[in-house]
Homo-oligomer: A and B are copies of this chain.
Amino acid sequence: MRAEAGTGTLGKAMAVLEAVVTADGPQRFTDILARSGQPRGTLHRLLSHLVEEGLLVQRRDLSYEPGLRLLTLAYRSWSANRFRDIAEPHLRRLHELTGETVHLGILRETEIVYVDKVESRQTVRMSSQIGKASPAYCTGIGKAALSLLGPAELERILARTEFHVFTPHTHRSAATLLAEIEDIRRDGHAFDREEHEAEIRCVAAPILIPGSELAAGLSVTGPAYRVTMEQLSAWAAAVRAAAQAVGEDAAIRLGPGRGGP
């Protein structure tokens, strides 16, 4: 497990929590012991505290799994998120125009976190993937959001990015990515040319969230067999317009005062 920063006890607790949450099944004490590298005594107390707080639950067989408190906290913060609320009608409109799935995402470090989604097919899980985090360097919204950053911040993020190769089209280094980011700045929109998932393409545009120093974006995504690059290019103007509209709405309704993303 990664070394935790200068966040003292809280950092350790969160690292342990993360270790349990990212594992695929219930974790026994020894599993977590190995994953976390904490000494036995310390880990035991940490786990008790996490259970007492409802962040973890202990099963009858003593193994640990995520507790419901996380879900409740996330629900509260999600439904109080004014930025998402403001963006929603614009996402809907874009979905009606294109018939394809529309995403709203916010950049956090090297990842893009999806905070809303509008889609046709009802087959869907959760709001399918609200809260899901994907690498920024190989997703449309991610690259769009990166294009908003200043040089120093961009460099810091890229230095931390691991260029994992997902498909033949995935960027393999910062060099090619930086070149594309130049294009994105010029054009005002970004494409995902099957870089993260094969057979999945998207066109995205950046949004600056006023008040917070957050970089966000929205996108239209579709399967390659149905959505050609020409089709995406044709939608680009509408995507830029929607992003712009969200930004303006947010500037008015969030501003420096009450309420925020």
Contacts and interface: CB of A to CB of B under 8 A. Distances in A.
Nearest to A261: B65
From A7, A66, A75, name the one whose CB has the most chain B CB atoms within 10 angstroms: A75
Q: What 8 A-B pairs are tightest by C-beta distance, nearest first?
A: A75-B131, A66-B77, A74-B74, A71-B131, A26-B260, A7-B49, A9-B9, A68-B113
Per assembly, the copies of the chain total 2
Contact of A13 (B10, B21, B66, B113): B10
A160 interface: no
A253 to B, nearest CB: 12
A7 B9 CA distance: 11
A185 interface: no
Given A75-B126, A213-B60, A5 B52 contact: yes
A172 interface: no
Contacts of A78: 71, 126, 131
Given A26-B259, A115-B71, A259-B26, A10 B11 contact: no
Interface residues of A, number: 68
Contacts of A46: 10
A228 interface: no
Nearest to A18: B73
A129 B70 contact: no
Interface string A1-37: 0000111111101100110011011100000000000
Interface in A68-123: 68-82, 106, 108, 113, 115, 122
B63 A260 contact: yes
A50 interface: yes
A214 interface: yes
B53 A10 contact: yes
Contacts of A67: 108
A50 B11 CA distance: 9
A245 to B, nearest CB: 20
B9 A59 contact: no
Contacts of A259: 25-26
A243 interface: no
